[in-house]
């Protein structure tokens, strides 16, 4: 009690005060372990967010490339229609007019090939971006799993502090090690 204020300490506050003063080595060890787990969990959370953003960026890039490819295929169809009209005109005319339409047919064929090549390149870029997105999302899931494991480890550490059960401490460390294994898999792009 300080001054004129009434202050009540809860059991957890009392345990934390004892741990802070070094009176209880078990509690100090669990508190330090929890702080390490929380730090690792924060790092894993950051990496999970970063990989999720990467996945969304690649997905957006794929959508843009698909739209551009679709536009090229529409342009290709337009040139095909013009080529078909020129071929019909070629069949219906003779002389100088026929030469003019032969040149147009040849020009449309060349233009269509260029457009087709561009559309196929855009489709390939879209596919590559989709693959990058899928891979980044897989890594995001790994980081999220690692972070979840660390959160479970922290919860187990809190229960360990309250119950003072050695098996819970070992379980907490084991779950944290599993989470670090998942993080390692994410770092290795597995």
Question: One digit per residue, pLDDT tens: the chain, 190 residues?
Answer: 455 665 556 655 565 565 556 578 899 999 999 999 999 999 999 999 999 999 999 999 999 999 999 999 999 999 999 999 999 998 999 888 899 999 999 999 999 999 999 999 999 999 999 999 999 999 999 999 999 999 999 999 999 999 999 999 999 999 999 999 999 999 998 8
Give a yes or no: residue 55 inside a domain. yes
Give a yes or no: residue 118 inside a domain. yes
- Measured distance CA(158)–CA(33) in Å, rounded: 10
Contact between 129 and 58 (Cβ < 8 Å): yes
Give a yes or no: residue 116 inside a domain. yes
- Measured distance CA(54)–CA(61) in Å, rounded: 10
Give a yes or no: residue 45 inside a domain. yes
Contact between 150 and 44 (Cβ < 8 Å): yes
Give a yes or no: residue 136 inside a domain. yes
- Which residues form the domain of 150? 24-187
- Residue 23 has a pLDDT of 73
Give a yes or no: residue 9 inside a domain. no
For 94, phi then psi, to 5°, come to: -145, 170
Rg (CA), the chain: 33
- Measured distance CA(33)–CA(128) in Å, rounded: 42
Give the total number of structural domains in the chain: 1
- Residue 1 has a pLDDT of 46
Give a yes or no: residue 125 inside a domain. yes
Could you tell me where the DSSP H helices lie in the chain?
11-20, 25-92, 96-163, 166-187
Give a yes or no: residue 19 inside a domain. no
- Measured distance CA(74)–CA(81) in Å, rounded: 11
**In terms of Cα–Cα distance, which of 174, 72, 82, 188 is closest to 135?**
188
pTM over 0.85: no
């Amino acid at each position: 009690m300080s001054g004129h204020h009434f202050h009540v300490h809860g059991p957890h506050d009392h345990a934390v005060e004892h741990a802070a003063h070094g009176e209880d080595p078990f509690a100090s060890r669990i508190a330090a372990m929890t702080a390490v787990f929380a730090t690792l969990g924060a790092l894993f959370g950051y990496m999970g967010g970063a990989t999720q953003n990467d996945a969304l960026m690649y997905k957006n890039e794929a959508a843009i490339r698909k739209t551009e490819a679709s536009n090229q295929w529409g342009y290709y169809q337009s040139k095909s229609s013009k080529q078909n009209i020129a071929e019909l005109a070629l069949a219906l005319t003779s002389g100088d007019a026929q030469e003019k339409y032969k040149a147009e047919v040849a020009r449309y064929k060349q233009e269509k090939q260029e457009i087709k090549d561009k559309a196929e390149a855009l489709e390939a870029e879209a596919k590559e971006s989709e693959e990058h997105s899928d891979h980044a999302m897989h890594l995001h899931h790994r980081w999220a799993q690692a972070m979840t494991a660390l959160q479970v480890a922290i919860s187990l550490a809190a229960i360990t502090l309250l119950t003072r059960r050695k098996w819970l401490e070992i379980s907490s460390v084991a779950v944290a090690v599993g989470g670090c294994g998942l993080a390692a898999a994410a770092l290795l792009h597995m």
